[in-house]
Chain A
């Protein structure tokens, strides 16, 4: 007999003994269940309201919202492909930087740093996640943008002789800078989850490899990483979810231009940043179209997050 069921027996015995107790026990569980139901209802209302608001746009434009390349509220033309692409590109480039650095940091914190230092260093990385995104936006706009336009972008342009993907004017604002800021912002998420995942790799596997004469790098690349693979993919996906939905910091540095991105130096506008900059005082159809962007964003981030959580759950459970 499990512990759980024995306590349930006691509980049931108590309930049978005296009526008032049974009644009050029921009130308590009714309150809990009622609040849970209320919250579920609010969540459903939230999802429904966003979808409902976008309805006029879907019925007027249909899939044009997903495939149209021209987003121009003045002409009532709402094609969101450029925004979707900018969202995916900024997220992809951000992950290109944040994933190796993030997993490298997690490995360092778990295996290379002395235990006494690991705590404070982990806290420092986690505090990066606490900095409000508007502050990253401010920093990006005043520090990263000038640095990109005077140093990084000219250098990148020489790499390809001004050709794709580093073509265009080095003005600082734009997709490349948004990606850099996003990379900094998703890093702590990736580090925190990767660290948890890597910590569940069984100690005896590591020690077995070391005893056979493997070096540290061999242990890390051939034992630890393969064992943590699934959970690490989950960590990366959680970071991706965060990057896809990041709003304010991106809106401040991406240049807010909803045209098709043709290079990493292009100005752009992501799904979230377009909603942030255009939603106030928009006329009805424009509002509905922005609602449609919100639906796309909601579906994208919710599915990425659900996928990521499932992977992290598997990655941290399997290994133990």
Chain B
């Protein structure tokens, strides 16, 4: 028996593996050095990627932190003069403007996004797939195009700049983000829940609204917060529709201002005090946006823990 084994030709697979391992061992040192170099380079990439965030935030705090006073947050802007360069008032009007515009945009986009999400999650027709693709592409379109849309339909027809026109543009921006999040969240709800509901005799509408939607709610809320965070920071769609008023005004059908617009205008304004104010407004914006993002992430993480 043992003689027979010795007489057999060697196993080709074993031979191959031995060859590979022998070569690997011979070149081990050279390859290890190269690998160490390469992984260092990759880690450097990560460092380079993370650094800008801290640079931006540090610059905002250093240059804009000191203007954030109660007066700055609550007063209307003033035009500084040569003789009184520091007197720039505040950005209270822009805070109200941002609240109103983003609030109205959310009122339009949230129901629309959730209903579209329900539709896309429950439908598999060719036309639904097409709508899904188009919605996806919408999230990548430059937001300034939505400003043009709002200008053509709302500003031109109402013969006035308004917060409402800005809200429509922002709603168009938010809807695809909410739709995508809602669809993903709704699809991840276990199918068995739907079936149990249907088996108990409930209608599809009741199952969707009373069973599936509540289970998917955290995911949808995450999406809404992220969409809101994106809308609050957008300047381009507001540029030619909002009117950049400096008055206090809660009426969305009047011209208004908004925080990102103030940053944009102050950044290229004449006086140093206004440049500092631009950093201050930028800091407010980043704080709001980061808070929204972090809470969205916390909700998502919480949801994941619940699931498991």
Interface residues of A (CB under 8 A from B): 3, 6-7, 10-11, 14, 21, 24-25, 27-29, 31-33, 35-36, 39-40, 42-43, 45-46, 49-50, 53, 100-105, 107-109, 112-113, 121, 123-128, 130-139, 141-143, 184, 187-188, 191, 212-218, 220-221, 238, 241-242, 244-248, 252, 272, 275-276, 279-280, 291, 294, 297-298, 301-302, 304-306, 308-309
Q: Interface segment, B72-80, B127-135, B211-219, B248-256? A: B127-135
Considering only CB atoms, which chain A residue lies closest to B262 in the complex?
A: A134
Are A14 and B201 neighbours in the complex by a CB distance under 8 Å? yes
A306-B141 Cα distance, complex, nearest whole Å = 11
Please give, as numbers and ranges, the residues of chain A lying within 8 Å of B61 by CB-CB distance: none
A278 to chain B, nearest CB (A): 10
Interface residue B220 (Cβ < 8 Å from any Cβ of A)? no
Give A276 to B142 CA distance when docked, in angstroms.
11
A–B complex contacts, Cβ < 8 Å, 5 sampled: A124-B50, A216-B35, A252-B267, A305-B136, A309-B137
> Shortest distance in angstroms between A194's beta carbon and chain B's nearest beta carbon?
11
How distant is the Cα of A253 from the Cα of B236 in the complex, in angstroms? 15
Is the CB–CB distance between B55 and A21 below 8 Å?
A: no
Given A107-B42, A252-B268: A21 touches B148 (CB 8 Å cut-off): no
> Of A128, A133, A297, which contacts B145 at CB under 8 A?
A297
Q: Is the pair B136, A309 in contact by a Cβ cutoff of 8 Å?
A: yes
- Residues of A with C-beta under 8 A to B133: 306, 309
Q: Is the CB of B46 within 8 A of A109?
A: yes
Q: A40-B131, A101-B45, A135-B285 are in contact. Are A10 and B142 (CB under 8 A)?
A: no
- Decide: B137 and A305 in contact? CB cutoff 8 A: yes
Q: From residue B183, how far is it (CB to closest CB) to chain A in Å?
A: 12
Is B303 at the interface (CB under 8 A from chain A)? no
- Cβ contacts B204-235/A at 8 Å (1 or 0 each): 11001000000000000000000001101111
B-side residues, CB < 8 A to A, are 17, 20-21, 24-25, 28, 31-32, 34-35, 37-39, 41-46, 48-50, 52-53, 55-56, 59-60, 63, 112, 115-116, 118-120, 122-123, 128, 131, 133-134, 136-138, 140-149, 151-153, 172, 175, 191, 194-195, 198-199, 201, 203-205, 208, 229-230, 232-236, 239-240, 260, 263-264, 267-268, 275, 278-279, 282, 285-286, 289-290, 293, 297
Q: Contact check, A245 vs B141: say whether CB atoms are below 8 A apart.
A: yes
**Please, which residues of chain B bring their CB within 8 A of the CB of A276?**
144, 236, 239
Chain A contact residues: helix, strand, loop or mixed: helix
Task: Knowing A216-B35, A276-B239 are in contact, say whether A138-B46 is a contact too (CB < 8 A).
Answer: no
User: CA separation between A238 and B43, bound complex, in Å?
Assistant: 23
Q: Which residue of A lies closest to B22 (CB)?
A: A213
Q: Is the pair B203, A24 in contact by a Cβ cutoff of 8 Å?
A: yes
Beta-carbon contact of A35 and B279 below 8 Å = no
Nearest A residue (CB) for B128: A36
How far in angstroms is the closest Cβ of chain B from A56? Answer: 13
Closest to B289 in A: A130
- Across the interface, which residues of B come within 8 angstroms of A246, CB to CB? 142
- How far, in whole Å, are A184 and B48 apart by their CA atoms in the complex? 10
With A11-B198, A139-B59, A213-B25 as given contacts, are A32 and B141 in contact (CB-CB < 8 Å)?
no
- Pick the most buried of A35, A215, A279: most chain B CB atoms within 10 A of its CB: A215
**Please, how many angstroms separate the alpha-carbon atoms of A131 and B112 in the complex?**
26
**Interchain CA distance A103-B204 in the complex, whole Å:** 44
Smallest Cβ-Cβ distance to B301: which chain A residue: A119
User: Smallest CB-CB separation from A49: which chain B residue?
Assistant: B152
Contact B293 A142 (CB under 8 A): no
Across the interface, do A139 and B140 meet the contact criterion of CB distance under 8 Å? no
Residues in chain B near residue A14, CB distance under 8 A? 198, 201, 203
Residues of B within 8 A of A43 (CB): 134, 138
Q: Give complex CA distance A36, B176 in Å.
A: 12
Given A45-B153, A123-B297, 5 other A-B residues pairs in contact with their CB atoms under 8 A: A28-B208, A36-B131, A105-B48, A131-B56, A215-B32
B194: chain A residues at CB < 8 Å are 7
Q: Evaluate contact between A134 and B260: CB separation under 8 angstroms.
A: yes
Q: Is the CB of A218 within 8 A of B137?
A: no
CB-CB under 8 A from A248, the residues of chain B are 235-236, 260, 264
Tell whether, in the assembled complex, residue A130 and residue B195 are in contact, meaning their CB atoms are under 8 Å apart: no
In the complex, what residue of chain A is closest to B57 when comparing beta carbons? Answer: A131
Q: How far is the CB of B166 from chain A (nearest CB, A)?
A: 14
Asked if A101 and B48 sit within 8 Å, CB to CB, the answer is: yes
Report the bound CA distance from A191 to B49 in whole Å: 9
Q: How far is the CA of A268 from the CA of B3 in the complex (A)?
A: 83
A314 to B45, CA, bound (A): 26
Provide the residues of chain A in CB contact with B203, threshold 8 Å. Answer: 14, 21, 24-25, 28
Q: Flag if B56 contacts A136 (CB, 8 Å).
A: yes
Chain A residues lying within 8 Å of B138, measured Cβ to Cβ, are 43
Q: With A43-B134, A275-B148 in contact, is A301–B142 under 8 Å at CB?
A: yes
**Contacts of A50 on B, CB cut-off 8 Å?**
145, 148-149, 152
Q: Which residue of A lies closest to B205 (CB)?
A: A28
| A131 near B145: Cβ-Cβ < 8 Å | no
B142 partner residues in chain A, CB cutoff 8 A:
244-247, 272, 297-298, 301
The answer on a CB contact under 8 Å between A105 and B234 is: no
Q: Which residue of A lies closest to B24 (CB)?
A: A213
A134 touches B46 (CB 8 A): no
In the complex, what residues of B have CB within 8 A of residue A291's CB?
Answer: 148
